[in-house]
Amino acid sequence: MHTDVDQCLRAVQSKDARFDGWFFTAVRTTGIYCRPSCPAVPPKPRNITFHATAASAQAAGYRACKRCRPDASPGSPEWDVRGDLVARAVRLIADGIVDREGVPGLSHRLGYSRRQLERLLQAELGAGPLGLARAQRAQTARLLIETTGLPLADVAFAAGFGSVRQFNDTVREVFATTPGDLRTRATLKLPPAKGSVTVRLPFRQPLHPDNLFGHLVATGVPGVEEWRNGAYRRTLRLPHGSGTVALTPTSEHIRCTLHLQDMRDLSVAIARCRRLLDLDADPVAIDALLSEDPFLQPLVARAPGRRVPRTVDEKEMALRAVLGQQVSTAAARTLAGRLVLAHGDPIEDPAGGLTHLFPTPEQLTQVDPAGLAMPGSRKQTLLRLAAALDTLDLDPGADRHEARSQLAALKGIGPWTVETVAMRCLGDPDAFLPTDLGVLQLAKQLGLPKDLLTHAERWRPWRAYAVQHLWAVGNHPVNHIPTGDAS
């Protein structure tokens, strides 16, 4: 979008927050880059250049605005919609792949040479993999500086920097101040408990939290997920250790409190929580298209801003999709709860009732099938998928078409499971469940044509959001935030 100068100028002049994250505004006369919605007086058009990413603006020598904090804006919804190489690379970088495996690891995951990958990212985003990862490290560093009592040297390594000097230089360059000054301005009163950090997760308005949090709680696995004190809580399996998160919806943001064994996992945990809650979506564009269908228009008007509940662990969700085949939500929770209790890794949770991490596919492949209390065919499908997940790519950079094909080739995996995985794991906004019993019943109740698959073509590329609106017609717990604590 940053190449459409006229549209970008209109967004800046109207301070339209819907475009935060879509592009960044760099001002030549001040050397500062901002969000489109920055409250400062808009600069003269001749002094503005537009950038696709914060990393691009930083590479061009601009520093982040201290008023609008462009480094903390929602991500561009474009990367969730698109399935091409650049979008897959951006999703993987957000998940911390460059910090863990370097650019060669990113290139290997995507199946392209390092030179080709860097050329494509530079051409479209104005920054290569290292620049994008550096911008993310700078944002993580700022969060840790302003919201924790960690010593600044520990902040440097927790944010992913290779040295304290690199950390200091980057903070000065990006924020035009020192790490110490950032902490002084934050006026911390009491350092939070070690390993704990609370941040605000921004999103584009509107956001309808009922089905989002209602779905996560109603389908939550006992011991792994719970609803407590107005927050959805769950355990996390992260690259450097485990953790827990509490996500509380508010009208302006999602409050996210993380307890981590290793603070190096902070940026990864935040990225995964954003994916879980679909916070980078563009609800205005989605609702506008779905409202063109007279069958959906009243539903969208009643609850604008619905999101698609996703996952923080793709392999876990794929296994849970198999457990949910042809059974009720309650039955699927029971099966998953037994599996967790018997084979999951235990954790401590002084703040609540979380007890285990969901078992990994590797753990399940070692299980004696006779000990799994479920129908024989379901048992075999579960173990077959657990073995296949060693090579089946469902991570944020996965090729969605290839993943669908590989899933469909597994015995016992049908279209419902494939599309559920595409929706919840792969984050495909166009995933659709035309065989889902609830979708079929509620579509009939609304008077939709019998050939639902053909009719749904008009909902592309947002069919996953249409499913959320259809499910909301029924009176099911997935549509409501609990009024009290639930586990």
Residues 353-369 have a mean pLDDT of 95
Pull the structure tokens for residue 155.
């902040």
Catalytic residues: 34, 436
Confidence tier at 196 by pLDDT (50, 70, 90): confident
Q: Which of 324, 365, 323 is nearest to 343 (CA)?
A: 365
CA distances to 339, 416, 420, 449, 461 from 452, rounded to whole Å, are 36, 15, 17, 6, 15
Residues 94-118 have a mean pLDDT of 94
Q: Which pLDDT belongs to residue 486?
A: 67
Neighbours of 411 (CB within 10 A): 9
- pLDDT over 70 (residue 396): yes
Distance CA 257, CA 461 (A): 33
Residue showing tokens 């039955």: 331
pTM for this one? Answer: 0.91
**450 CB-contact burial (10 Å; exposed 0-12 / middle 13-18 / buried 19+):** exposed
Per-residue HEC secondary structure of 49-80 comes to EEECCHHHHHHCCCEECCCCCHHHCCCCCHHH
**Positions of CATH 3.40.10.10 in the chain:** 5-72
Q: Which pLDDT belongs to residue 16?
A: 87
Q: Which pLDDT belongs to residue 483?
A: 83
Q: Which pLDDT belongs to residue 487?
A: 58
Cβ atoms of residues 241 and 261 within 8 Å: yes
The per-residue pLDDT for range 289-307, each reduced to its tens digit, is 999 999 999 999 999 999 9
Under CATH, domain 314-344+356-471 is a member of which superfamily?
Hypothetical protein; domain 2 (1.10.340.30)
Range name among 70-74, 151-155, 199-203, 361-365 with the lowest pLDDT average: 70-74
Per-residue HEC secondary structure of 344-405 comes to CCECCCCCCCCCECCCCHHHHHCCCHHHCCCCHHHHHHHHHHHHHCCCCCCCCCCCHHHHHH
Distance CA 139, CA 147 (A): 12
**Positions of CATH 1.10.340.30 in the chain:** 314-344+356-471
**Positions of CATH 1.10.10.60 in the chain:** 78-147+149-186
Residues 196-207 have a mean pLDDT of 91
Neighbours of 437 (CB within 10 A): 10
What is the CATH architecture assignment of 78-147+149-186? Orthogonal Bundle (1.10)
φ, ψ of residue 234 to 5 degrees: the values are: -160, 165
CATH number of 5-72: 3.40.10.10
The per-residue pLDDT for range 180-191, each reduced to its tens digit, is 999 888 765 545
Range name among 81-85, 424-428, 465-469, 482-486 with the lowest pLDDT average: 482-486
